[in-house]
Structures are given as C-alpha cells and as structure tokens.
Amino acid sequence: MNPFNPADLAWQKWPPEPLGGQHVGTGSNGVRLTHLPTGIAIEVGASRSQHHNRQVALDALLGALTSPSHRD
C-alpha cells in the first residue's frame, strides 16, 4: 500500500557503492526517493533487488513523515 500521492515523489536510480564481491555493484539497483513537499530524501542500496529497495525507501519515508520529531 502506498499512502503517498505519486506526484509528490521523485525516484532516481543510482548504482550503489561497490563493496566487493562478484555480484555486488553490477547494476543500477539503488534508489533515491525524494518527497517533494518536505524535501526529505531517502537512499537505499542494500539489496540487489531494485523492487525491494523501492519498498524499503517507501517504508523509511513513511516512518520519517509519521515520527513525532517530524510533526510540527
């Protein structure tokens, strides 16, 4: 479930920093998610799956927006 307006999200693909190993850093599977109304940016490149990284980024953004420290 995605509680965000798609127009408020900017997605970018980026290659994660190569950490070693033959299967790491072989493609652009990292994602950078920016919530345009607040300017919050989340970068995730922990998984080799871009789909998984996108879901982790959405979950992190939801947590950042609903945390007590972010509320006015």
Give 28-59 pLDDT, tens digit per residue. Answer: 788 999 999 999 999 998 888 889 999 999 99
Tell whether the model's pLDDT for residue 12 goes beyond 80: yes
> Quick one: pLDDT at residue 18?
58
> Quick one: pLDDT at residue 41?
95
pTM: 0.74
Report whether 65 contacts 47 (CB < 8 A). no
> Quick one: pLDDT at residue 58?
94
> Quick one: pLDDT at residue 65?
87
